């Protein structure tokens, strides 16, 4: 094997290991919060579309995490989309590296853990609470959805952390392929890649350049 091939193989293995660690941590975090409070996390009780408390989920998670807290702002910068209808994030690109990602799913507070891992919260919608994680931190590349940035939903029925792209999560399975695609220019491309990262043993070996 050539040196670039060896380096790429190593980098993909590192990302896979970091992903598994991050998923395990988030999964346990959600369980711990629910066990302590005696009730599942769900969008009806925590979404500020219902309650008006934008930082309710953020403040609920804080006692269970040793981290630097981004308080009432994100850990990441945002820029306005040209037509003024939404926001994109400066730091993150989509799965296929075509455009900046949307900040819509990550704008209700954030944490930066001691190892640099970043967690972003979304609880403004009438469908699911969501947690996104940058497995190696915003300061390290590739900063791409489905590469080192992954987004999960909290199932409203079970209260468990689930990958987007499955029944009970944002998009379910209806847009699973579309939002983890090599070709689309959708700014949400990468939203469902957590499903493939968890189910495909060769996922990280086949990440697009």
Which residues are bridge partners to 68 per DSSP?
Answer: 112
Query: pLDDT by residue (tens digit) across 113-142?
Result: 999 999 999 998 888 999 999 999 988 999
Cβ–Cβ < 8 Å for 51, 45: yes
With 70 as the cut, is the pLDDT of residue 106 above it?
Answer: yes
Tokens of 190: 């990468």
How many domains is the chain partitioned into structurally?
1
Give the model confidence (pLDDT) of 133-181 as tens digits: 999 998 899 999 999 999 999 999 889 999 999 999 988 889 999 999 9
Q: What CA–CA distance (Å, rounded) separates 181 from 96?
A: 7
User: Tell me: the pLDDT tens digits for 3-57?
Assistant: 555 556 778 899 999 999 999 999 999 999 999 988 889 999 999 988 888 889 9
Pairwise pLDDT comparison (25 vs 71), residue with the higher score: 25
Percent of the chain at pLDDT exceeding 90: 63
How far is 44 from 50, CA to CA, in rounded Å? 6
Range of the domain at 58: 3-206
Res. 191: pLDDT tops 70: yes
pTM, two decimal places:
0.92
Alpha-carbon distance values, 53 to 56, 59, 113 (Å):
5, 10, 24
Which residues on adjacent β-strands are paired with residue 90? none
**Angle, vertex CA 119, rays to CA 8 and CA 31, nearest 5:** 110
Per-residue tokens: 194: 């957590």
Q: What is the pLDDT of residue 171?
A: 86
Query: Average pLDDT over the chain, rounded to whole?
Result: 88
pLDDT at residue 135, as a whole number? 97
Sign, Cα dihedral of 57, 58, 64, 65: positive
Total residues found in the chain within this entry: 209
Per-residue pLDDT, 25? 96
Report the distance separating Cα 124 and Cα 89, nearest Å.
18
Task: Report the pLDDT value the prediction gives residue 59, as an integer from 0 to 100.
Answer: 92
Tell me the C-alpha distance between 23 and 151, whole Å.
10
| Burial degree of 8 (CB within 10 A; 0-12, 13-18, 19+) | middle
DSSP character at residue 144: B
Q: Which pLDDT score, from 0 to 100, does residue 104 have?
A: 84
Q: What is the pLDDT of residue 15?
A: 96
SS (H, E, C) 145-207: ECCCEEEEEECCCCCCEEECCCCCCCCCCCCCCCCCCCCCCCCCCCCCHHHHHHHCCCCHHHC
């Amino acid at each position: 094997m050539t040196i670039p091939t060896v380096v790429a193989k190593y980098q993909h293995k590192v990302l896979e290991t970091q992903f598994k660690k991050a998923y395990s941590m988030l999964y346990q975090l959600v369980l711990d919060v629910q066990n302590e409070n005696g009730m599942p996390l769900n969008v009806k009780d925590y979404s500020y579309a219902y309650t008006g408390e934008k930082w309710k989920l953020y403040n609920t998670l804080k006692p269970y995490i040793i981290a630097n807290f981004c308080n009432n702002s994100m850990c990441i910068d945002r820029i306005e989309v040209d037509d003024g209808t939404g926001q994109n994030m400066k730091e993150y690109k989509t799965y296929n590296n075509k455009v900046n990602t949307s900040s819509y799913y990550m704008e209700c507070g954030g944490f930066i853990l001691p190892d640099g891992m970043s967690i972003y919260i979304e609880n403004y919608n009438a469908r699911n609470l969501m947690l996104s994680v940058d497995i190696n931190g915003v300061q390290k590349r590739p900063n791409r959805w489905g590469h080192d940035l992954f987004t999960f939903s909290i199932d409203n029925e079970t209260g468990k952390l689930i990958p987007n792209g499955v029944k009970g999560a944002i998009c379910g399975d209806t847009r699973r392929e579309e939002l983890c695609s090599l070709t689309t220019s959708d700014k949400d491309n990468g939203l469902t890649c957590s499903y493939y990262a968890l189910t495909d043993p060769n996922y990280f070996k086949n990440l697009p350049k």
